[in-house]
Structure 1
Amino acid sequence: MDYIEIAKRVFDIEARAVGLLGDKLDNSFSQAVQQILNSSGRVIVCGMGKSGIIGKKIAATLASTGTPSFFMHPGEAYHGDLGMVTADDVFVAISNSGETDEVVKLIPFLRNSGNYLVAMTGSPASTLARAAHSHLDVGVPEEACPLQLAPTSSTTATLAMGDALAVTLMKARDFKPENFARFHPGGSLGRRLLSRVEDEMVKVNLPLVPEDARVLDVIQAITRGSLGLAIVEHSEGWGLVTDGDIRRAIERFSEAVFDKRAGELMSREPAMVPLGTRVEDALMLMDKRQITSLLVFEGERVVGVFKK
């Protein structure tokens, strides 16, 4: 038995299923998108079994990309959770057969409440498809399952249709990275776009030295600060001596380096940003200058060091 060939056949079958979806799109897709854009409510995604698992992912993708959404289990819906549905909500019901009893049972309630119903099914002639205002056809030629029993290609196709819906809505809303970051404050993008340098900078026990400090004093300040640098205060503003500057000075002056002063070794125009600078902008400046540290200032004072 060739396990790799089996896996490749699964990929081929599922890729073909997704590839055919584009030909199935019609005005129903555009109507569903426009209805969601016009709605002041949320998108409620509902499905049973494997369709429900896919529905949870679709709801999560919608919610994180600018379309308020949540998943509702059809069984729980029929036993009280329908109280969470308002007339302004758009309801997305997922059922490959379009005949899933727990989902079909919700149709009278949705009709009476005036909810716009979007159905994702593999059967345009099914009860759910015919009851929907918009039907998104996710039918597939075959399942990847050799027994044609386990939902495989059909769930992949449904997931892809949900992604198409979410991405289309993103573009229609002109959803930007800053918007995405608001819903993902704990991720790296949230950090870059939402955080400010003062949220992450070192601001206590800064390694400050005067311009006339001896090299040994500068080295001690660098060690004490654990930032790989010393900040030099001089008559024209601020300078910077890094541990790299010290190494290069040793190579150049040898033992005579210990006769030098901080003002002789420092960079006179260190990279600096004001308090309130976004982390994203600070990181872009650091990439451009190919450096790993920035001085942060407020007025005439250096108040912190921001590092990658």
Structure 2
Amino acid sequence: MKLLKNPQLIARQVLLDEAEAIRKVTERLDNRFDDCVNKILSISGRVVVTGIGKSAIIGQKIVATLNSTGTPSLFMHAADAIHGDLGMIQDGDVVIAISRSGNTPEIKVLVPLLKRTGVPLIGMVSDTGSYLACHSDYVLEAYAEREADPLDLAPTTSTTVALALGDALAVSLLVGRDFTRQDFARYHPGGALGKKLYLKVADIYPHNACPSVSVTTPVKEAIIEISSKRLGATAVLHADGTLAGIITDGDVRRMLNRTDDFRTLVAQDIMTVSPVCVCSDDYAVRALEIMQERNITQLVVVDDGILQGFVHLHDLLKEGIV
């Protein structure tokens, strides 16, 4: 085995070859793709994806993408189908069979059995003259002229094209179903992605202290309130309980730069009027965006002018959405 002097040249060529193959597929998109999308949108069942070898792996990824974007799907390995897994196909389903050549022995055995179920068959195939393409009800042309390796043997370009075409199919179906951010959050409740989509300010601020003083509170007491609640700020309220402003650590430092004697000062003398606020129904990720835009670390939570609490950057860090 020899060391390669410049592997990045090989890598660059592979990426360019695969990108070019995807570009060529876009030129081949036609009404056949539209027919496949609309057929899937019209069915009452699931999308059953099948394949063998590397196509099977691509099929599993396509299934995962379809499921997460609102199209119920499942994977059926082509080799297992003839040993009982055909039983997973139900009335109202549609089958997508993936094969570059469309002529493998497993596919030739499987296709007549699939046709016997009576469900529509979509062939995702590079060779539109192949056995699979000719016996499918619909065709997704995943054209790949050659693989990216020098021997033109290892499934590389063909699997990339099939994967990209599967993504195009899933996104088209997503749009056709009017799939929303809320729908996506329902299917992705876990991890940072899910939290960005469903976690709201109301889920966070009740766990924090809620420092507040009145407009006439002496500055010394306001500083004590800030220190005791450990949020780096306190809300300042009018007599009727509505928000008048906020005093932050920065406001205190600016006051000390202006005067050495603050014994006669009250909260409204040093507060920031009309501070940036969020509502309890806002998404936490929106609170994060505001903090980043304004370069601040906390926000006042206000509903209809009434103080509800505080949300701090540390809360968002702890939730893992930063």
Letter in 2 for 1:249: M
Q: Could you tell me which residue of structure 1 aligns to residue 85 of structure 2?
A: 81
Cα distance in 1 for residues equivalent to 2:144 and 2:15:
14
The reply to whether residue 302 of structure 1 matches residue 307 of structure 2 is: yes
Is 1:267 the equivalent of 2:272?
yes
CA shift for structure 1 position 279: 3.4
- Secondary structure at 2:272 match in 1: coil
The answer for the alignment partner of 1:230 in structure 2 is: 234
Tell me, yes or no, if structure 1 residue 194 matches structure 2 residue 198.
yes
* CA displacement 1:8-42 (0-9 Å, x = unmatched): 22123222221211233333212111100111111
Show CA shifts across 1:114-135 (max 9, x none). 2111111222222221221112
Contact 2:208 2:310 in 1 (8 A): no
- Structure-to-structure mapping, 1:1-308, within 5 angstroms: 1-186=5-190, 188=192, 190-236=194-240, 237-238=242-243, 239-253=245-259, 255-279=260-284, 282=287, 291-297=296-302, 302-308=307-313
1:38, 1:141 → 2: CA distance? 33
**Unaligned residue ranges in structure 2 (runs of 5+):** 314-322
State how far apart, in whole Å, the 2-side matches of 1:161 and 1:73 are.
Answer: 20
AA in 1 matched with 2:247: V
Following superposition, the deviation at residue 273 of structure 1 comes to: 4.3
Output the amino acid matched with 2:255. Answer: A
CA distance in 2, matches of 1:234, 1:203: 24
Q: Distance in 2 between matches of 1:2 and 1:264?
A: 67
Cα displacement (A) at 1:144: 0.8
What amino acid maps onto 1:165 in structure 2? Answer: L
Q: Which deviates more from structure 2 when the two are superposed, residues 231-240 or residues 52-61?
A: 231-240
Q: Report the Cα offset of residue 196 of structure 1.
A: 2.3
Maintained 8 Å contact 1:61/1:166: yes
Return 5+ residue gaps in structure 1 as ranges: none
CA distances 1:166-186 after superposition (whole Å, capped 9, x unpaired): 222233333333333332233
Output the TM-score relative to the length of structure 2. 0.84
Deviations 1:243-274 (A, max 9, x none): 11111111112x11344222322234334444
Distance 1:278 1:16, change over 3 A: closer
Asked if 2 retains the 8 angstrom alpha-carbon contact of 1:120 and 1:137, the reply is: yes
The Cα shift of 1:292 comes to 4.3
**Matched residue of 2:75: which SS?**
strand
Distance 1:281 1:16 in 2: 38
SS in 2 for 1:123: coil
Deviation per residue, 1:190-225 (Å, 9 max, x gap): 434422221122444322334443333322322222
Counterpart AA for 1:244:
G
Q: Which moved more, 1:258-267 or 1:241-250?
A: 258-267
State the AA in 1 paired with 2:39: Q
Indicate the SS of the match to 2:36.
helix
Q: For residues 146 and 115 of structure 2, what CA distance do their matches in structure 1 show?
A: 33
RMSD: 2.7
Whether the 8 Å contact between 1:43 and 1:68 is mirrored in structure 2 is: yes
**Bigger CA drift: 166-175 or 14-23?**
166-175
Stretch deviating more after TM superposition (203-212 or 57-66)? 203-212
Contact 1:272/1:296 (8 A) holds in 2: yes
Cα offset, 1:300, TM superposition: 7.6
2:210 aligned counterpart, secondary structure? coil
Measured in 1, the distance between the counterparts of 2:182 and 2:211 equals: 34
**Partner Cα separation in structure 1 for residue 143 and residue 290 of structure 2:** 50
Post-superposition Cα deviations, 1:127-177, rounded to whole Å, max 9, x if no partner, equal 221221112222322111111211111111111211221222233333333
Give the 3 Å change call, closer, same or farther, for CA 89–230 of structure 1 in structure 2.
same
Residue 228 of structure 1: how far off its partner (Å)? 1.4
